Homo-oligomer: A and B are copies of this chain.
């Protein structure tokens, strides 16, 4: 059986709360404990029905848990692992959902007690929303979860965690931590950095131009604002902990952007056309992989202001 007796979720943001929804809906554990930073947040978690136990005390939260998942920004993991170490149950699985894996292993592994199976994980799923209220059951449906187990991890434990994620609707792959970090630097971290940067540029425009940019944002820019609306703490930690892969992809990007910039300066239409034709092929490959996706249309703020479901993203 793949069910757990007690799952302890450290953090109840978008991912943590979505995991809780899945455990509830699919009966994947007998007890859900959420560990949060404040009593207010614990109250909110209980009010939302996300947990049976909500506590600010890490030792109470992880006690007797056979699955513990770190769902906080990756910068907090080292201290959390150190503090929970002596309270982890023998035979427990310790995992996480961080978007960086090599640094997470360096931070957490030294504190993992003998008898606990540490299996780093990363569900590639999310929205730009944060907090316990942002989670929903369908978040992991048809999404990848990458596990990066270290040598010596019991295959049985990996298998058990796989089945947990599959029960949440996800597809699971295992991968080397460094490979994961390079792939994610390209697919996620660099795009987020770029989106943050372009919105930052707009933010610094003189105020009349800035208000027109916001008014007429439905033309590419608003998709960047969506990405750049993501949780600041989480993203700060990602850039700090996947520094070398991010800087490496950024430097490749800068080179390619300089080539395009020069093509515009030189009015080299052929070069532009060729690049744009190549990039279109990548789009087709992404669509073929079934990962093309769509933004979450349920967002209440948008549904309220614009009941039109078929709102396209604005072309030019």
Give me the interface of A with B, judged by CB distance under 8 Å: 14-15, 75, 99, 122, 124-128, 136, 138-139, 141-144, 146, 179, 182-184, 186-205, 209, 212-230, 232-240, 243, 246-247, 249-250, 252-254, 256-257, 260-261, 264-265, 267, 269, 272-273, 275-287, 289-299, 301-302, 305-306, 308-316
Contact = CB atoms under 8 A, between A and B. Distances in A.
Given A240-B272, A315-B128, A194 B198 contact: yes
21 contacts: A14-B315, A125-B312, A127-B312, A139-B312, A188-B221, A194-B194, A194-B198, A197-B257, A214-B286, A222-B292, A229-B283, A230-B276, A232-B280, A234-B316, A240-B267, A243-B267, A287-B302, A293-B312, A295-B312, A296-B311, A297-B297
A62 to B, nearest CB: 24
Given A267-B243, A292-B226, A217 B286 contact: yes
A222 B291 contact: yes
Among A199, A256, A316: residue with most chain B CB under 10 A: A316
B289 A217 contact: yes
Nearest to A251: B261
A261 B252 CA distance: 13
Contact of A289 (B186, B214, B237, B278): B214
A249 to B, nearest CB: 7
A313 B291 contact: no
Given A191-B224, A225-B286, A315-B230, A203 B278 contact: yes
B306 A142 contact: yes
B253 A198 contact: yes
Given A218-B144, A311-B141, A316-B99, A194 B257 contact: yes
A294 B294 contact: yes
A240 B264 contact: yes
A233 to B, nearest CB: 7
Contacts of A202: 186-187, 282
Contact of A188 (B243, B272, B309, B314): B314
Given A205-B186, A302-B292, A125 B315 contact: yes
A291 B217 contact: yes
Given A217-B289, A220-B187, A261 B250 contact: yes
Given A183-B212, A218-B291, A287-B302, 9 more contacts: A127-B312, A144-B215, A184-B219, A196-B276, A197-B253, A215-B291, A222-B286, A293-B306, A294-B299
Nearest to A224: B191
A287 B301 contact: yes
Contact of A314 (B124, B190, B256): B124
A142 B292 CA distance: 25
A191 B221 CA distance: 6
Contacts of A272: 232, 235-236, 239-240
B308 A302 contact: no
A193 B260 contact: yes
A215 B289 contact: yes
A277 B125 contact: no
